[in-house]
Structure 1
Amino acid sequence: MNLKVSFDLLTLEVFYEETKDIIIDSIIEKIYQIGSTDIFWEIYSPHNGRYNLVLSVHPQLYRIQLTRKNFPYPSKPPSFSMLLRKHLEGGRILDYYLIPQERIIEFKIKTFPEENKKVILELMGKYSNLILVNENNIIIDAIKHVPSEINRFREVIPGANYIYPPKSIKIPISELTEDKLESLLNKDIPIRDLILKEISHMNPHIVNEIIEDIGNKMANILTLTEKNILKERLLNIKEKIIRREFKPIAYLINGEPITFSLFPLKEYEDLEKKEFDKVYKLVDYIYSYAFEKALFTQKKNRLLEIIKTNIEKVEEKIKELDSQIKEGEDSEIFKIKGEILILNQSSIRKGLEKVTFLNPYNPNEYIEIELDPSLSAIENAQKYFKKYKKLKRGISILKDYKSKLEEELFYLNSIEFSIENANSLSELMEIEEELEKEGYIKEKKEKSQKKIKKSEPYKFISSDGFEIYVGKNNKQNDHITFNLAKPEDIWLHARGIPGAHVIIKAQDKEVPDSTLYEAGALAAYFSKGRNSTYVPVDYTFRRYLQKPKGAKPGFVIYKNEKTIFAKPEEALIFLSQEFKDSFKVRW
Structure 2
Amino acid sequence: MSFDGLVTRAVTYELKNKVIGGKIQKISQPSKNDIVLSIYSLGKSYKLMISANNNEGRVSFSNEKFENPQNPPNFCMVLRKYLNQSKIIDIEQYKLDRVIIFHISSIDEMGFDVSNKLIVEIMGKYSNIILTDDNFKIIDSIKRVNNKMSSVREILPGKNYNFIKSDKFNILENFDKDIYYIDKKTPDNANPKELLYSTYLGFSPTIANELCYRAGIDTRVNWGLVSEDEKKALNKNIIKLRSKLLENDYTPTLYKENNKFKEFYSFRLRHLQYEYKKYDFISEAIEEFYKVNKSNDRLRQIKNDLERKINSHIKSTKKKITILDKNLSKENSMELYRKSGDLLAANINKISKGMNSIRVNNFYDENKEIKIIIDPLKNPWENVDNYYKRYKKLKNSISYAKKDYPNQIEYLNYLLQLLDFVERSDSINDLDDIKSELISNKIIKDSSRNKKSNKEKSKPKHYITINNSHIYVGKNSRQNDYITLKLAGKHDYFFHVRNAPGSHVILKTDNFNENDLISASYLAASNSSLSNSLKVDVDYTEKKNVNKAKGSKLGMVYYENFNTITVDLSDKPKDLYKRIQ
Shorter-chain TM-score bucket reads 0.7 to 0.9
Residues 133/178 of structure 1: CA separation in 2 closer, same or farther (3 Å cut): closer
**2:493 aligns to what?**
490
**2:30 aligns to what?**
31
| Contact 2:78 2:140 survives alignment (8 Å) | no
Residues 342/415 of structure 1: CA separation in 2 closer, same or farther (3 Å cut): same
Residues 346/549 of structure 1: CA separation in 2 closer, same or farther (3 Å cut): closer
Offset of residue 406 of structure 1: 1.2
Query: How far apart in 2 are the matches of 1:128 and 1:389?
Result: 71
Query: How far apart in 1 are the matches of 2:116 and 2:490?
Result: 65
Residues 222/564 of structure 1: CA separation in 2 closer, same or farther (3 Å cut): closer
**1:36 aligns to what?**
none
Residues 371/577 of structure 1: CA separation in 2 closer, same or farther (3 Å cut): same
Offset of residue 471 of structure 1: 1.6
Equivalent positions of 1:459-470 (< 5 A) are 459-462=462-465, 464-470=467-473
| Contact 1:42 1:50 survives alignment (8 Å) | no
**2:9 aligns to what?**
13
Offset of residue 518 of structure 1: 3.5
Aligned length: 551
Equivalent positions of 1:386-405 (< 5 A) are 386-405=389-408
Residues 234/30 of structure 1: CA separation in 2 closer, same or farther (3 Å cut): closer
| Contact 1:40 1:54 survives alignment (8 Å) | yes
Residue 44 in 1 paired to residue 44 in 2? no
SS of the residue corresponding to residue 567 of structure 1 reads strand
**2:573 aligns to what?**
573
Corresponding residue to 2:357 among 352, 355, 377: 355
| Contact 1:521 1:571 survives alignment (8 Å) | no
| Contact 1:329 1:395 survives alignment (8 Å) | no
Offset of residue 315 of structure 1: 0.9
Which stretch of structure 1 is more off in the superposition, 472-481 or 276-285?
472-481
When the two structures are superposed, what TM-score results if normalisation uses the length of structure 1? 0.78
SS of the residue corresponding to residue 572 of structure 2 reads helix
Query: How far apart in 2 are the matches of 1:41 and 1:301?
Result: 30
**1:169 aligns to what?**
167
**2:242 aligns to what?**
238
Query: How far apart in 1 are the matches of 2:462 and 2:423?
Result: 20
SS of the residue corresponding to residue 30 of structure 2 reads strand
Query: How far apart in 1 are the matches of 2:567 and 2:179?
Result: 65
Residue 88 in 1 paired to residue 76 in 2? yes
Offset of residue 165 of structure 1: 8.3
**Considering only aligned residues, what root-mean-square deviation do their CA atoms show, in Å?**
4.4
| Contact 1:31 1:42 survives alignment (8 Å) | yes
Offset of residue 243 of structure 1: 2.1
Query: How far apart in 2 are the matches of 1:147 and 1:368?
Result: 85
Offset of residue 379 of structure 1: 3.0
SS of the residue corresponding to residue 274 of structure 1 reads strand
**1:247 aligns to what?**
251
Offset of residue 245 of structure 1: 1.3
Offset of residue 393 of structure 1: 3.6
Equivalent positions of 1:2-401 (< 5 A) are 5-19=1-15, 21=19, 25-29=24-28, 31-32=30-31, 39-41=33-35, 43-47=37-41, 48-49=44-45, 51=47, 53=49, 55=51, 57-59=53-55, 61-70=56-65, 85=73, 87-88=75-76, 92=80, 94=83, 100-104=95-99, 122-125=121-124, 127-130=125-128, 142=143, 148=148, 153=151, 166-179=164-177, 181-186=179-184, 187-188=186-187, 189-211=190-212, 212-215=214-217, 216=219, 218-219=222-223, 225-252=229-256, 257-267=261-271, 273-350=276-353, 352=354, 354-358=356-360, 360=362, 361=364, 366-371=370-375, 373=377, 375-401=378-404
Residues 229/450 of structure 1: CA separation in 2 closer, same or farther (3 Å cut): farther
Corresponding residue to 1:481 among 484, 490, 496: 484
Residues 29/488 of structure 1: CA separation in 2 closer, same or farther (3 Å cut): farther
| Contact 1:178 1:231 survives alignment (8 Å) | no
Residues 153/416 of structure 1: CA separation in 2 closer, same or farther (3 Å cut): same
Which stretch of structure 1 is more off in the superposition, 92-101 or 353-362?
92-101
Which stretch of structure 1 is more off in the superposition, 496-505 or 483-492?
483-492
| Contact 2:97 2:201 survives alignment (8 Å) | no
Residues 228/528 of structure 1: CA separation in 2 closer, same or farther (3 Å cut): closer
Offset of residue 457 of structure 1: 2.8
Query: How far apart in 2 are the matches of 1:540 and 1:475?
Result: 21
Instruction: State the one-letter code of the partner of 1:562.
Output: F
Instruction: State the one-letter code of the partner of 2:329.
Output: K
| Contact 1:190 1:218 survives alignment (8 Å) | yes
Instruction: State the one-letter code of the partner of 2:541.
Output: T
Equivalent positions of 1:544-559 (< 5 A) are 544-548=545-549, 550-558=551-559
Identity across the alignment (%) = 25
Instruction: State the one-letter code of the partner of 2:192.
Output: I
| Contact 1:340 1:357 survives alignment (8 Å) | no
SS of the residue corresponding to residue 38 of structure 2 reads strand
**2:520 aligns to what?**
519
Instruction: State the one-letter code of the partner of 1:542.
Output: K
**Which string of whole-angstrom CA distances, capped at 9 and with x for unpartnered residues, describes residues 403-438 of structure 1?**
211111101111111122222332223222222222
Bigger radius of gyration, 1 or 2? 2
| Contact 1:176 1:235 survives alignment (8 Å) | no
Instruction: State the one-letter code of the partner of 1:172.
Output: N
Query: How far apart in 1 are the matches of 2:562 and 2:577?
Result: 33
Instruction: State the one-letter code of the partner of 2:553.
Output: K
| Contact 2:103 2:116 survives alignment (8 Å) | yes
Residues 384/119 of structure 1: CA separation in 2 closer, same or farther (3 Å cut): farther
Offset of residue 292 of structure 1: 1.8
Residues 578/467 of structure 1: CA separation in 2 closer, same or farther (3 Å cut): closer
Query: How far apart in 2 are the matches of 1:448 and 1:257?
Result: 34
Offset of residue 445 of structure 1: 4.9
Offset of residue 392 of structure 1: 2.0
**Which string of whole-angstrom CA distances, capped at 9 and with x for unpartnered residues, describes residues 262-312 of structure 1?**
2233446x9754322211112112222222222222222222112211111
Residues 568/118 of structure 1: CA separation in 2 closer, same or farther (3 Å cut): farther
Query: How far apart in 1 are the matches of 2:62 and 2:321?
Result: 50
**Which string of whole-angstrom CA distances, capped at 9 and with x for unpartnered residues, describes residues 232-286 of structure 1?**
3222211221221112123456886543332233446x97543222111121122
**Which string of whole-angstrom CA distances, capped at 9 and with x for unpartnered residues, describes residues 459-507 of structure 1?**
334454422222222232223223432333211212332111011112x
| Contact 1:19 1:280 survives alignment (8 Å) | no
Query: How far apart in 1 are the matches of 2:356 and 2:52?
Result: 75
Offset of residue 49 of structure 1: 4.0
Residue 458 in 1 paired to residue 461 in 2? yes
Residues 105/177 of structure 1: CA separation in 2 closer, same or farther (3 Å cut): closer
Query: How far apart in 1 are the matches of 2:204 and 2:298?
Result: 27
SS of the residue corresponding to residue 153 of structure 1 reads coil
| Contact 1:536 1:563 survives alignment (8 Å) | no
Relative contact order higher in (CA < 8 Å, ≥ 6 apart): 1
**1:585 aligns to what?**
none
Offset of residue 132 of structure 1: 8.1
Residues 464/221 of structure 1: CA separation in 2 closer, same or farther (3 Å cut): closer
Offset of residue 29 of structure 1: 4.3
Instruction: State the one-letter code of the partner of 2:204.
Output: N
Which ranges in structure 2 are unaligned for 5 or more consecutive residues?
110-114
Instruction: State the one-letter code of the partner of 1:321.
Output: L
Query: How far apart in 2 are the matches of 1:54 and 1:379?
Result: 82
Query: How far apart in 2 are the matches of 1:201 and 1:576?
Result: 52
Query: How far apart in 1 are the matches of 2:3 and 2:487?
Result: 47
**Which string of whole-angstrom CA distances, capped at 9 and with x for unpartnered residues, describes residues 508-554 of structure 1?**
x2413542344233323322334556544333333444445554321
